[in-house]
């Protein structure tokens, strides 16, 4: 008996899915993944997908949407959402979504010096420490006759070319201040500390060493850029 009743209720729920159901007191509910009061939905079917902060500014300045108030949520260094006002049912319309499109920066892993050189030149803004690392790895010379490695866990020593034929010992630059491309190009890329390490076969790696503080700086930069470009009536969260 209980099994039959359960199957009946399950079938009833399935047949009612995504349908409006009116109950005795006249209220109407929509049954789907959950049950909530039904109302006419005049919001956008889906947000506009963009990949720059400039697109958000252009959209808000164009007057294409007269919804008020508008709210911007800087979710992360690579995601910014634009919302319309909250309706009487506690729902907020998502108008636009900006997501960063960029090449992956290979941090926290060893690679040969040629890969490291290319990555630094292509995916990092110029800084004195970037130049120092490129100069250092460009002059590396593998010393196959020596098995001694000088490394106290912080400072490393490596064999480098100091001239046409001469060879010397140099310290590996460490720590280093670098600016990888990690947020939208309209804002200054946040500078943060990295640990530069060398390993056998002239492999190098750059490890993040700022505890993720760069993310807060990137979000702050995005907020400042948007605030300077759009109306102060628009609330920016981040």
> Domain segments of the chain: what residues?
1-38, 111-210
Residue 109 sits at φ, ψ, to 5 deg, of -155, 145
Residues in the chain: 238
What is the model's pTM?
Answer: 0.72
Residues 24-49: tens digit of each pLDDT: 455 666 556 665 555 555 566 688 99
The residues that bridge with 151 in the sheet, in sequence order, are 156
What residues contact 10, with CB distance under 8 A and at least 6 apart? Answer: none
Which 8-state DSSP code applies to residue 143?
-
- Identify whether the C-beta of residue 148 lies closer than 8 Å to the C-beta of residue 157: no
30 vs 211, residue with greater confidence: 211
Residues 191-200: tens digit of each pLDDT: 999 999 888 7
CA distance 161 to 141: 6
Asked whether the bond before 69 is cis by omega within 30 degrees of 0, the reply is yes
Lowest-confidence segment of 9-13, 62-66, 206-210 by average pLDDT: 9-13
Q: 127: left (phi > 0), else alpha (psi -120 to 50), else beta? A: beta
Averaged pLDDT, 171-180: 85
Residue 40 is predicted with a pLDDT of 54
CA distance 116 to 119: 5
């Amino acid at each position: 008996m209980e099994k039959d009743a359960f199957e009946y209720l399950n079938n009833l729920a399935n047949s009612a899915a995504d349908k409006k159901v009116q109950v005795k007191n006249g209220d109407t509910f929509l049954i789907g993944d959950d049950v909530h009061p039904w109302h006419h939905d005049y919001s956008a079917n889906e947000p506009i997908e963009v990949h720059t902060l400039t697109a958000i500014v252009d959209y808000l300045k164009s007057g294409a949407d007269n919804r008020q108030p508008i709210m911007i949520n800087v979710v992360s260094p690579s995601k910014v959402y634009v919302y319309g006002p909250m309706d009487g049912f506690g729902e907020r319309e998502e108008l636009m979504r900006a997501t960063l499109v960029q090449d992956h920066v290979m941090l926290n892993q060893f690679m040969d010096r040629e890969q490291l050189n290319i990555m630094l030149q292509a995916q990092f803004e110029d800084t004195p420490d970037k130049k120092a690392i490129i100069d250092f790895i460009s002059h590396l010379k593998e010393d196959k006759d020596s098995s001694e490695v000088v490394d106290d866990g912080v400072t490393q020593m490596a064999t480098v070319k100091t001239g046409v034929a001469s060879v010397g010992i140099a310290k590996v630059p460490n720590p280093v201040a670098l600016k990888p491309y990690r947020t939208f190009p309209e804002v200054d890329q946040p500078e943060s500390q990295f640990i530069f390490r060398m390993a056998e076969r002239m492999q190098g790696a750059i490890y993040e060493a700022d505890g993720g503080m760069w993310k807060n700086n990137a979000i702050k930069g995005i907020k400042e850029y948007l605030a300077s470009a759009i109306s102060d009536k628009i609330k920016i969260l981040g």
